């Protein structure tokens, strides 16, 4: 009887050790399998692919492709703009941006850059083109119109008109 209990406990211990070690042993196979699936982060979350970069005095603005949400997503169309090197930005930013690349300004985006990177940001978007919507005092209320600081960039999402 003791031998059966001892074998049962030994088998349980071996199973636990195996359960802990298998993910480490098979991690390379799992990561290779999932990387070959071609899965991508949805553009509503990533902001879409970057189209071009605009150089401004000491910093850059990345312009992304327009994002149109899928059928069941609760968001509106938007264009993401990334101000890079947030540490190099002036205390107040007010830039006119040509989003569609036609040589004419489309929006004016204004926001303050606080010293503390954890501070909530607020921005004003003034539409200079009927294709885009104006928005005042935006923060983090929606995916399709927000301003957030991510690492060393400030991301602003400009709502596209309907």
In the prediction, which pLDDT does 1 show? 59
Give CA–CA dist 55/145, Å, rounded. Answer: 23
pLDDT 10s digits, 102-157: 889 999 999 999 988 888 999 999 999 889 999 999 998 888 889 999 988 999 99
In the prediction, which pLDDT does 5 show? 63
Q: How many CB atoms lie within 10 A of CB 2?
A: 6
In the prediction, which pLDDT does 81 show? 95
Instruction: Check if the beta carbon of residue 155 is closer than 8 Å to that of residue 113.
Output: no
Q: Where are the domains of the chain?
A: 1-39, 43-159
pLDDT 10s digits, 39-64: 888 788 888 899 999 998 889 999 99
Give CA–CA dist 54/64, Å, rounded. Answer: 11
**What are the backbone dihedrals phi and psi of residue 128, each rounded to the nearest 5 degrees, phi first?**
-110, 5
């Amino acid at each position: 009887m003791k031998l059966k209990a001892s074998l049962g406990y030994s088998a349980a211990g071996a199973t636990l050790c195996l359960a802990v070690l298998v993910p480490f042993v098979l991690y390379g196979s799992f990561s290779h399998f999932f990387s070959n699936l071609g899965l991508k982060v949805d553009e509503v979350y990533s902001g879409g692919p970057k189209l071009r970069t605009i150089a401004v005095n000491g910093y850059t603005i990345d312009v992304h492709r327009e994002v149109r949400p899928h059928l069941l997503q609760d968001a509106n169309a938007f264009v993401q703009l990334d101000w890079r090197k947030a540490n190099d930005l002036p205390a107040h930013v007010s830039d006119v941006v040509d989003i569609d690349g036609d040589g004419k300004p489309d929006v004016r985006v204004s926001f303050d850059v606080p010293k503390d990177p954890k501070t909530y940001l607020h921005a004003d978007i003034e539409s200079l083109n009927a294709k885009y919507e104006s928005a005042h005092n935006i923060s983090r209320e929606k995916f399709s119109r927000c301003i957030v600081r991510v690492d060393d960039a400030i991301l602003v999402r400009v709502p596209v008109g309907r």
